[in-house]
Amino acid sequence: MMSSVDELSTEQLNFLVRLPMLLNSSLDISRVIETTVHHLKSQLHAEAATIFLLNEQQTELTFWALDKGTAAGLKGKKMPADKGMVGWVIKNQQSVICNDVANDPRFFKTIDNESQFVTRSMICAPIIGPGSLVVGAIQVLNKAEGEFKQNDLLFVEQLSHQAALAIRNAQLYNKAQLQAQKLE
């Protein structure tokens, strides 16, 4: 059964309407990601939210954990692009909802072990930019109460579309800035 935006709450729909302005208020990629993660986590009442950015060679992911807790120490950590659910999501360009990660063979336990964070449930969606270019993935971890539902997944997917454009714009801006500096 296909989900539709009609299944989102009024609060979530209002947020998605305001999201382009929030995300495009800066060309600083760190700020764009920080804004995305903060709002995503609060909208879904989750313990954590992360964004993984794919390198240009599409072999490595940079972990952007911007929570104030234990996961904050993982910011900037690198991992192979083919590991875990995030790797599966990027490879298959499909979203995943899993309310029991311990029993999912795609789950990559290394990050939990290093951060001492316990992931119980997860939503993961690819961040696909213009021209079907995958720039990374979004993960939302551990719904505070109950399980993640299809409308939560739909919300993450809608947010990922907007985040893809903002992240790609920030990447292109940074690249142009570097080129300008080289020319000087």
28-54 pLDDT, tens digit per residue, is 767 777 777 887 888 899 988 888 988
Instruction: Identify the pLDDT of residue 67.
Output: 54
1: pLDDT strictly greater than 50: no
171: pLDDT strictly greater than 80: no
89: pLDDT strictly greater than 80: yes
The confidence band for 70, taking pLDDT boundaries of 50, 70 and 90, is very low
Do 154 and 3 touch, CB atoms closer than 8 A? yes
Instruction: Identify the pLDDT of residue 16.
Output: 72
27 or 137, higher pLDDT: 137
CB-neighbour burial class of residue 22 (10 A; exposed 0-12, middle 13-18, buried 19+): middle
75: pLDDT strictly greater than 90: no
What pTM was computed for the model? 0.80
How does 53-82 read in b/e, with b if 16+ C-beta sit within 10 Å? bbeeeeeebebbbbbeeebeebbebebebe
> Which whole number is the average pLDDT over 101-116?
84
Instruction: Identify the pLDDT of residue 66.
Output: 57
Instruction: Identify the pLDDT of residue 35.
Output: 74
Instruction: Identify the pLDDT of residue 147.
Output: 94
Instruction: Identify the pLDDT of residue 14.
Output: 73
Supply φ then ψ for residue 80, to 5 degrees: -60, 140
Rounded to whole angstroms, the Cα distance separating 63 from 109 reads 14
Percentage of the chain beyond pLDDT 70 is: 85
